[in-house]
Amino acid sequence: MGSRPATSGRVGASKKSLNGKGAPAQKNGAIRHRPATNGELAAEPAVKLVAVSKSFGRRAVLKGVNFSVAAGELVEVTGPSGSGKTTLLRLLHGQLRANAGELWVRGRGLHRWWRRGLGGLRREVAFVFQEQRLLPRLNAFENLVLALQVRDPQVPNKTIKQRALEALESVKLADRRRAYPHQLSAGERQRVAIARALAIKPRILLADEPLNSVDEENAALITHLLEEAAAAGTTVIVATHRHTFAASRILRLPSEKVVTNGARRPAINANGHQNGHANGGSYGNGNGHANGDSSAHAWWRLAIPARERPRKAPQAPRLPLWRRSAALLANGYRLVVLNGLRSWSRDSRLTTPVIGT
């Protein structure tokens, strides 16, 4: 009887050591992973593929692809035509379903629940199609406005129009905002599609041949915009025939060989946070932000000079409920009623001369 308290104390000390820094804690038989510490990669990548295979009939396009992309990383998928670059991006966007393997996008298993909740996922994952896929009845400005209205209907229409105009200005197409897709060149349509994808500020950006039919000057501009988006924390995956971007890694298909293109360095954005895709010398946790302890903050204060130290940008105040509700009703009216009437009037104007009435 006298030895039982001592044994209980030893067991309690052992459990305490397991729940502390010595080992991960256990709950219901499962190991609870501790958050990543300084110098470690994020525990949960933004995109993860485990033995993913996709075939069309008897033709196998992807065979057992294993690949993961961290948050805020710029990755290129290269290879010849027909190697499966577009198929891989369509799998990540939920347009196709893998025949085998596991496919995770922002913690959601697309191999399990394929169609369930795809609308919410695609509000965070933007896709730049190789054929642009602009709505033909809307001009360049209206294409961006519609995407922003669908992305967040609670944003006031004035703010949406301002963001759309800024996105067109970033690709040097503000003077062509009233032009329709059939009035734009192939390169201009490509830039409008990229502006539409960047305007919604996605968590993940998938670009299928973004430099296709773009001249050299505008290609450098698009490359700079996508690299800036990755530096701001957006996960960018680009499918291209040749290595063009300053990507941290390159996935070559169909050999599935991963090539590291230099060290992955953390990028400090305007809010003073560091991306979670840092290498061994970085200081980022699993959420992609800087650690909240005083030691981490003291480190980067000493490492960065005072004049170059990033300042925390003031955050815009959250709109009250009545403003968001009014914007939701107004944008819903514009999406359903006004766009429907506009498309009907344009159809009648285009088809009336054809049928001779």
Q: For position 61, what pLDDT does the model report?
A: 92
Q: Is residue 316 part of a domain?
A: no
CATH of the domain at 147: 3.40.50.300
Q: Is residue 74 part of a domain?
A: yes
Residue 209, CA atoms < 13 Å, CB-side half-sphere:
17
Q: Is residue 230 part of a domain?
A: yes
Q: Is residue 241 part of a domain?
A: yes
Total number of domains in the chain: 1
Does the pTM surpass 0.85? The reply is no
Q: Is residue 278 part of a domain?
A: no
pLDDT at 122 over 50: yes
Q: Is residue 249 part of a domain?
A: yes
Q: Is residue 137 part of a domain?
A: yes
- Range with lowest mean pLDDT among 109-113, 190-194, 200-204, 312-316: 312-316
pLDDT digits (tens, 9 = 90+) for 242-277: 788 888 899 988 887 787 764 343 333 333 344 444
Q: What domain range is 120 assigned to? A: 47-260
Q: Is residue 115 part of a domain?
A: yes
